[in-house]
Amino acid sequence: MVHDLELIKVGKVYDNGTPAVAGFDLAVAKGEFIAFLGPSGCGKTTTLRMIAGFEAISSGDMLIKGTRINDVPPERRPTSMIFQNYALFPHMTVRRNVGYGLEVKGLAKAEREAKVDRILATLGLEDVADKRPDKLSGGQRQRIALARGLIVEPDILLLDEPLGALDANLRKAIQNELKLLQKRLGVTFVFVTHAQSEALALSDRIVVMNQGRVEQISPPHQLYTRPNTPFVAQFIGRNTILDGSVGGVEDGRAVVDTPLGILRGTANGALAEGSAAKIVVPAEAIEVRSASEARATGMGNAIAATVRRLDVVGHISHLSVELPGGRAVSLEAHVEKYPPGLFAPGGEVVLAWNAAEATVIPAA
Ligand SMILES: Nc1ncnc2c1ncn2[C@@H]1O[C@H](COP(=O)(O)OP(=O)(O)OP(=O)(O)O)[C@@H](O)[C@H]1O
């Protein structure tokens, strides 16, 4: 299968010696929505700019539809890029902004106008076609930028934090629009964000980056439930991560010997007996029981904890407990599950989970 986009061991060292990206491997199928997610400075934008051709790659190969593009200039790549600030021309009408790329390409006026009309209709911008972007809302400006990127019919649309300038409510609405539009058009999207919820909501697959390296490439649900590395476990979701050593692995289940007892989870990665490991327990997987109930049922995979606080906000109870050694664990559930008065501060409880829902990974 020929991929729309392939990065093979792509690396970037800036002229001043800053290493920004190393050994980046990725293969993107046509029509996929890919997000680059990671903390500030991890190399997301650099990678996007290398795909666009604005930044030369220092090592490795980049292919679009099977053709090596390392030395192809940006204007000859089948890509469009949308910037966080949209980079719209304030003195031009929406129509002219959107058609500008075709004007530069020298397309005849009639053909250009027809394409502009079509894309304005696709994005619901007909009514503002003759206005100037600075007279429009953030959401409308965002759509103009999208129209301008899509009108040149790129194979791959590159989006650098495209929703970053919008307020939270609008962001949510535009997220949905963007996802629907992308699926309808079938264009491959590569999207940079440092907002976890955005990446989880939009993408077919997420590339988690850390210090210039790829930590994990997975569909959102898998990334959330089966982290491959300690960084991902800590960066995605709300996990309690406990250190220990591998006691053994059987049928995909790992036993971990921790200072808090013997704990079990689903094995993920090379876990040699006796090697250092981490058991990652998502907040959603944790059941809180009273200490006596846990003793009575002989529950396995459980750790003792002390209640610190229980706060009820609307329908949600926020329970804060402390593990032996002082580590805090925050849990949330519907108020029916943790009703006020059930867990008094200072009370002894037990945190338990199904081994299937916890993940055991190598410590490094
Ligand atoms: N033009 C440049 N010259 C030198 N170093 C640069 C340049 N641009 C970025 N860097 C460095 O490269 C590394 C990766 O930066 P990059 O902007 O790709 O990260 P990012 O993940 O997109 O961060 P952010 O979320 O803050 O935009 C950082 O250490 C950054 O300081």
3-state secondary structure 88-116: CCCCCCHHHHHHHHHHHCCCCHHHHHHHH
Q: Final residue of a domain: which of 225, 247, 273?
A: 225
pLDDT of the chain, 364 residues: tens digit per residue: 899 999 999 999 999 999 999 999 999 999 999 999 999 999 999 999 999 999 999 999 999 999 999 999 998 999 999 988 788 888 899 999 999 988 888 889 999 999 999 999 888 889 999 999 888 888 888 889 989 999 989 999 999 988 877 777 778 878 888 898 899 889 999 999 988 999 999 999 999 999 999 999 999 999 999 999 999 999 999 999 999 999 999 999 999 999 999 999 999 999 999 999 999 999 999 999 887 776 666 666 889 999 999 999 999 999 999 999 899 999 998 988 888 778 889 999 999 999 999 999 999 8
Residue 142 CB–ligand 1 contact under 6 Å: no
Same domain, 291 and 218: no
Q: Considering only CA atoms, which residue is closest to atom 4 of ligand 1?
A: 14
Q: pLDDT for 152-164, tens place per residue?
A: 899 999 999 888 7
Same domain, 246 and 213: no
Task: Give the pLDDT confidence score for residue 281 in this predicted structure.
Answer: 95
Cβ–Cβ under 8 Å, residues 57 and 36: no
Evaluate whether residue 168 is within a structural domain: yes
Look at the alpha carbons of 305, 311, 312, 317 in this order and tell me if their dihedral is positive or negative: negative
Same domain, 207 and 308: no
Q: Considering only CA atoms, which residue is closest to atom 11 of ligand 1?
A: 20
Beta-bridged to residue 230, according to DSSP, are: none
Same domain, 213 and 271: no
Residue 44 CB–ligand 1 contact under 6 Å: yes
Q: To which H or E segment does residue 333 belong?
A: strand 328-334
Evaluate whether residue 190 is within a structural domain: yes
Task: Give the pLDDT confidence score for residue 12 in this predicted structure.
Answer: 98
Same domain, 205 and 255: no
Residue 133 CB–ligand 1 contact under 6 Å: no
**How many structural domains does the chain have?**
2
Task: Give the pLDDT confidence score for residue 229 in this predicted structure.
Answer: 97
Same domain, 85 and 135: yes
Residue 46 CB–ligand 1 contact under 6 Å: yes
Q: Final residue of a domain: which of 225, 255, 285?
A: 225
List C-alpha distances in Å: 296 to 164, 299, 349, 352. Answer: 51, 8, 13, 14
Same domain, 102 and 33: yes
Evaluate whether residue 206 is within a structural domain: yes
Residue 14 CB–ligand 1 contact under 6 Å: yes
Task: Give the pLDDT confidence score for residue 176 in this predicted structure.
Answer: 84
CATH number at residue 320: 2.40.50.100
Which residue's structure tokens are 């250190």? 243
List C-alpha distances in Å: 307 to 92, 299, 320, 333, 335. Answer: 61, 19, 6, 15, 16
Domain hosting 257: range is 238-362
The span from the CA of 258 to the CA of 136, in Å, is 58
- Label the pairing between strands 261-267 and 213-218: unpaired
For the chain, give the number of residues: 364
The span from the CA of 263 to the CA of 101, in Å, is 59
Same domain, 178 and 86: yes
Distance 346 CA to ligand 1 centre (A): 47
Which DSSP letter does residue 61 get?
Answer: E
Task: Give the pLDDT confidence score for residue 311 in this predicted structure.
Answer: 92
Same domain, 192 and 250: no
Task: Give the pLDDT confidence score for residue 29 in this predicted structure.
Answer: 97
Task: Give the pLDDT confidence score for residue 298 in this predicted structure.
Answer: 61
Residue 42 CB–ligand 1 contact under 6 Å: yes
Q: What is the ipTM of this complex?
A: 0.97
Burial class of residue 245, CB neighbours in 10 A (0-12, 13-18, 19+): middle
Task: Give the pLDDT confidence score for residue 171 in this predicted structure.
Answer: 81
The span from the CA of 89 to the CA of 363, in Å, is 50
The span from the CA of 291 to the CA of 321, in Å, is 13
CATH number at residue 55: 3.40.50.300
Evaluate whether residue 281 is within a structural domain: yes
Same domain, 276 and 199: no
Task: Give the pLDDT confidence score for residue 289 in this predicted structure.
Answer: 87
Distance 39 CA to ligand 1 centre (A): 11
Evaluate whether residue 233 is within a structural domain: no
Same domain, 317 and 203: no
Helix axis angle, 94-104 to 138-150, nearest 10°: 20
Q: Considering only CA atoms, which residue is closest to atom 25 of ligand 1?
A: 40
Cβ–Cβ under 8 Å, residues 221 and 65: no
Distance 45 CA to ligand 1 centre (A): 7
